Amino acid sequence: MVGGDAAGMSAASQARRLNHDLEIVAFERGTYVSYSACGEPYYIGGLVESLDRLVARTPEQFAKRDIEVHTRHEVTAIDLGRREVTVVDLAANSSRTVGFDHLMVSTGSRPLRPSYIKGVNLPGVVGLRTLDDAAAVKQLIDGDVKKVLVLGGGYIGIEVAEAIVDRGIEVIMVTSGRHVLERTLDDELGTLVDEAVRSYGVELHTGLRVQCIQGTDRATGIGCDEIEFSADLIVIGLGAGPEVELAKAAGIQLGDSGAVAVDEYQRTSVEGVWSAGDCAEVRHRVTGKPVNVPLGTVANKTGRIAGTNIAAAINGTDPKPFPGALGTAITKIGDTEIARTGFKVAQSREAGFTPVVGAVTGTTTAGYWPTAKRMDLMVIADQKTGRVVGGQIVGGQGAGKKIDVIATAIWNGMTAEELAWVDLAYAPPFSGVWDLVHIAARRAAEG
């Protein structure tokens, strides 16, 4: 296993469940394995007291299951002809080769640091990927940092901004998009998130493309053009890209998305080599086309499938396919919850659909309930078939997880008309008698 987080260790654990005789060895260049990267902003913000709370299993726990884990060991080369990898022990600064019968590439993703931004690699410009990164950022925040600049308005950017505001530190967020989460939310809902970000105390600037980070020995802010903000620390939240250099150098085929190309069984172009997680492609549940979906949910599931099929290849049993992904995701800023699944309107057009939108503004509970908060919900359907292909939600506490109903409808190929009649639970503390999912779906069905 090359890489010891969600996909790699899920594969290792599943392969062990299905075959007790395998020799399983995992190499991880970081200090931790099997951890929740999604919890890193909340560690920085102080909601999670210790990094150990974010670790699902330690190397010692894996050892009890006869899975050999080596942290601070980096695989630097894969020789497919000799069926071996070169591994560097980072602590001892020594290297060795290790042979394999089956190889799992689960190298994950890396924060994007665009080369067009001058000074992007200066000290004081940090990204979040591993728990080691989170520890380094928290140490800086715990110091004399008074102002933080967040570049990017994606999930990580929003969650980091919230965490740092919670520490009483001034935060400026700059994004090139028309609104935050532009890649995942349509404008109507994205602008609502902008309002929530600003209301939480973040100084948000949209539509600004950063070209330069100022500083000589250390980053001091951004500038170069009409944009100029000073900062003690800059957090890169410009998205993530699949970490595929190792696979590419070995001759493993990449897909159009830039991630490792795999079939529905997580098999790469090379016999006996598998890949899963952020570094690999998956099939979109709606279109069947390969996409890269860097989410922890997808990494854990595809890792489990890879482990199942590695064991199947050895045991001589039938492989199991990965059924696809929708990119369902959820986050929050303060009390505002944000969720999405499937396609945006423009994305649905690009996929060949004729989108019709059912949108509704209501409340998280019955309107008369004392804790009712505003909620905006959107259901996107294909006009020709009626099939639900997307959904988005922005609202108060209790709004976000309603996205799971829409995701379930998309997963099972339901039409908007069918979704409008699903028997959903009702009580005044939770929703109106007609849930907003019902109303939005009906509006989409009526076109």
Pairing of strands 109-111, 240-242: antiparallel
Active site residue 38: yes
Cα–Cα distance for residue pair 167/230, rounded to 1 Å: 19
What are residue 73's phi and psi, to 5 degrees? -125, 120
Looking at residue 247, its amino acid is A
182, 207 in Cβ contact below 8 A? no
SS3 content of the chain, % helix, strand, coil (to 5): 30, 30, 45
Closest CA to 14 of 251, 234, 263, 320: 320
What CA–CA distances, in Å, run from 407 to 286, 381, 392? 11, 12, 10
Cα–Cα distance for residue pair 1/209, rounded to 1 Å: 38
Alpha helices in 128-254 (DSSP H): 131-141, 155-166, 187-199, 245-250
Pairing of strands 240-242, 203-205: unpaired
Residue 245 tokens, joined: 């250099």
Residue with the two structure tokens 């990119």: 327
Residue 386 tokens, joined: 């009626």
Q: What are the residues whose beta carbons fall under 8 Å from the beta carbon of 121, sequence distance 6 or more?
A: 113
Residue 108 tokens, joined: 């994950």
Question: What angle in degrees, to the nearest 10, is found between the helix axes of 436-446 and 403-411?
Answer: 50
- Cα 319 from chain centre: 27
The active-site residue out of 38, 212, 224, 279 is 38
Could you list the active site residues?
Answer: 38
